[in-house]
Amino acid sequence: MSYETAAPAPPSAATPHAYRRLLATPGARAFTAGNLLARLPMGMFSVSAVIMIAGAHGSYALAGAVTATGLAATAVVAPWTARLVDRYGQARVAVPATAVAVLGSLALVLCVHYDAPVWTLFAAYAATATTPNTGGMSRARWSHLHQGDAAALHTANSFEQAVDELCFMLGPVLAATLCGALFPEAGTLTGAVLLMAGVLIFAAQRATEPPASPRTQAASPLRTPGIPALLAVFLATGAVFGAMEVVSIAHAGGAILALQAGGSCVAGLLYGTLRPAPRIGRRLLLCLTGMTALMALPLLAAATTGSLPVLAACLLLAGAATAPTMVTGMTLIQRLTPRAQLNEGMTLAVTALLGGIAAGSAVGGWAVEHSGTVTGYAVPMCAAALALAVSAIGTRRA
């Protein structure tokens, strides 16, 4: 079976004014404001934890191990949290789940500050894995509010992807600034306050919340035809991001990564003004083809010119392909996942993406250490090609 599906005919086409119409949806601005506040800390916590732990213990290896443990715990816990959200509703689950995660962040601060045993750092950071997928919950609201309107949903997914890029671009900068200008725990404490406040505001908007879908038995979305292949695409795409981050930091420093995120953010917003093509599986293949081609640019720049401005321009162009790919992939996840399991399906996609980021970081770091940063830029290009190949096979065989 193919996961190539035709989109329902949109009652309205996307235009440059699409975002104005999108945010004019009753209740949209309120839940978007809360979600923005809650999502910004997602780009803050890992950077803050690394700065805080490395400063107190003098070990980046320990700091990296603690954050990696949190990522592994999230990969296990997040789909279960999302399943509870689908079953009992966003407000009933997100608020207590966030409270547990915030307590984990506060416990981490106390453990670091009072020099608690090292194992407590792992336990405290693992508790933050209950943080709900706020981006997925926001996308679920748009899907609920615009059922049958493919153009509006396309614009909403583009908007959400741009928000993701913005938060992961600003979050680390904010965290590093707070930790440096105030005290090492400031980034984590600020992130915890923003997360809790944002989720409370978001959850209070009950009028736009999708209805809960209580059920006694339900198969995992993993059993839905097309979903496993699509998750493999997200896994490979995550490897693109993880490898590019490590290689670019090793080659030119972390600041240059903002250009890739900025290019993706702008491309996502522009992509949302376009009328979506009806055959979404084919659209995903085109996006992945473009991403694979553009990911070759940083490799060429690093190998042939050695110029930092040229590399920066290539990263900006390479980033322009990532948002359309992510928007299209997430739209396809929404199309294939049963509506009663939508939060779980999108969280599985995010979990696959995070797993890919971790794998890409590891492979990219190995390539840099053994072959140099120029060769390291081949890793994200190869990962993009792998995503394209998996998508092509999945379209035919899923």
How confident is the model over 121-170, as pLDDT tens digits?
999 999 999 999 999 999 999 999 988 888 888 899 999 988 888 887 78
**pLDDT over 80 at 77, yes or no:** yes
Categorize the per-residue pLDDT at 179 as very low, low, confident or very high, splitting at 50, 70 and 90.
confident
Q: Average pLDDT of the chain?
A: 87
- 102 and 198 in contact (C-beta within 8 Å)? no
Residue-wise pLDDT for 317-348, tens only, equals 998 889 899 999 999 998 898 888 888 989 99
**pLDDT over 60 at 5, yes or no:** no
Q: What mean pLDDT do residues 203-220 have? A: 81
**pLDDT over 60 at 181, yes or no:** yes
DSSP letters of 129-143? Answer: GG---HHHHHHHHHH
Looking at the fold, whether 396 and 334 belong to one and the same domain comes out as: yes
Q: What is the CATH number of the domain that holds 183?
A: 1.20.1250.20
Residue 359 lies in a domain: yes
DSSP letters of 200-240? Answer: HHHHH-GGGPPPP---S----GGGSTTHHHHHHHHHHHHHH
Residue 13 lies in a domain: no
Looking at the fold, whether 83 and 146 belong to one and the same domain comes out as: yes
**pLDDT over 80 at 12, yes or no:** no
- 150 and 10 in contact (C-beta within 8 Å)? yes
Residue 11 lies in a domain: no
Looking at the fold, whether 152 and 239 belong to one and the same domain comes out as: no
Task: Indicate the residue among 182, 211, 240 that finishes a domain.
Answer: 211
Q: What mean pLDDT do residues 44-73 have? A: 83
**pLDDT over 90 at 60, yes or no:** no
Q: How far is CA 341 from the centre of its chain?
A: 19
Phi and psi based region of residue 294 (left: phi greater than 0; alpha: psi -120 to 50; beta: remaining): alpha
Looking at the fold, whether 114 and 205 belong to one and the same domain comes out as: yes
Residue 189: what pLDDT? 95
Task: Indicate the residue among 211, 241, 266 that finishes a domain.
Answer: 211
Residue 304 DSSP one-character state: H
Q: Match 């009072």 to its residue by tokens.
A: 114
**How would you class 117 by CB atoms within 10 Å of its CB: exposed for 0-12, middle for 13-18, buried for 19 or more?**
exposed
Identify the bridge partners of residue 6 per DSSP, sorted by sequence position: 279
Residue 4: what pLDDT? 54
Rg (CA), the chain: 20
Q: How many domains does the chain have?
A: 2
Q: Where are the alpha helices (DSSP H) in the chain?
A: 18-23, 28-39, 45-57, 60-88, 90-113, 118-127, 134-145, 150-181, 186-204, 227-252, 257-271, 280-294, 296-304, 308-319, 322-336, 342-371, 373-376, 378-397
Q: Match 């250009």 to its residue by tokens.
A: 259
Residue 254: what pLDDT? 63
Pick the closest to residue 322 from 391, 281, 267 (CA basis): 267
Q: How far apart are CA 80 and CA 347, in angstroms?
A: 9
Categorize the per-residue pLDDT at 62 as very low, low, confident or very high, splitting at 50, 70 and 90.
confident
Looking at the fold, whether 51 and 96 belong to one and the same domain comes out as: yes
For 128, the token pair is 């933050």
For the whole model, what pTM was predicted?
A: 0.83
Residue-wise pLDDT for 295-308, tens only, equals 999 999 999 988 89
- Report percent pLDDT > 90 for the chain: 44
Categorize the per-residue pLDDT at 72 as very low, low, confident or very high, splitting at 50, 70 and 90.
confident
Q: Give 362 or 378, the one with higher predicted confidence.
A: 378
Looking at the fold, whether 227 and 207 belong to one and the same domain comes out as: no
Residue 27 lies in a domain: yes
Q: Match 């680390």 to its residue by tokens.
A: 172
Domain containing residue 385: 223-398
Looking at the fold, whether 339 and 302 belong to one and the same domain comes out as: yes
Q: Give 173 or 270, the one with higher predicted confidence.
A: 270
Residue 7 lies in a domain: no
Residue 6: what pLDDT? 44
Task: Indicate the residue among 158, 177, 211 that finishes a domain.
Answer: 211
Pick the closest to residue 18 from 205, 158, 209, 208 (CA basis): 158
